[in-house]
């Protein structure tokens, strides 16, 4: 079981902690912390990033960097759920493009639980960019 707990600080700010015991400040105004909806996008990027890194590692693909960017649009009326999300995967290293494409697809279709939840309200698209090592 996973648990989460938030404690009001002031205005629209909360201290939050979950089962992993790491503190996060959540701010509905986004002035002193991430908003709840920003945290959803961060969760999506982290979830799929974990999957892709794990899959590429198991395939012994020599990736040297992995960055996931999310751009999202929300519904105009409450509850203002995400309706469109575009993920951009930036992968560095001499990796097989097919291996990266397969890893991204496996994350989307099988492993990423955050993606599975968001798919109920949002169309999630992606692109992959290959970057040269510095």
Structure confidence by residue, pLDDT tens digits, 50-80: 999 999 999 999 999 999 999 999 999 999 9
Sheet holding 123-131, edge to edge: 63-74, 82-93, 123-131
Does pLDDT of 133 surpass 90?
no
Handedness of CA 27, 32, 35, 41 (dihedral sign): negative
Q: Residue 132's pLDDT is what?
A: 81
Confidence label for 134 from pLDDT (cuts 50, 70 and 90): low
Contact 39, 26 (CB under 8 A): yes
User: pTM for this one?
Assistant: 0.94
How far is the C-alpha of 47 from the C-alpha of 26, rounded, in Å?
Answer: 19
DSSP 19: T
Mean pLDDT over each residue of the chain, to the nearest integer: 96
């Amino acid at each position: 079981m996973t648990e989460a707990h938030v404690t009001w600080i002031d205005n629209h700010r909360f201290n939050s902690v979950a089962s992993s015991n790491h503190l996060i400040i959540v701010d509905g105004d986004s002035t002193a912390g991430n908003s709840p909806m920003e945290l959803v996008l961060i969760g999506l990027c982290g979830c799929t990033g974990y999957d892709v890194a794990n899959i590429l590692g198991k395939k012994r693909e020599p990736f040297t960097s992995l960055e996931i960017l999310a751009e999202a649009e929300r519904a105009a009326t409450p509850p203002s759920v995400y309706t469109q999300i575009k993920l951009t995967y930036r992968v560095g290293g001499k990796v097989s493009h097919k291996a990266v494409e397969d890893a991204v697809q496996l994350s989307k279709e099988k492993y990423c639980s955050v993606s599975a939840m968001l798919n109920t309200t949002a169309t999630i698209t992606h692109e992959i960019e290959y970057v040269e090592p510095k």
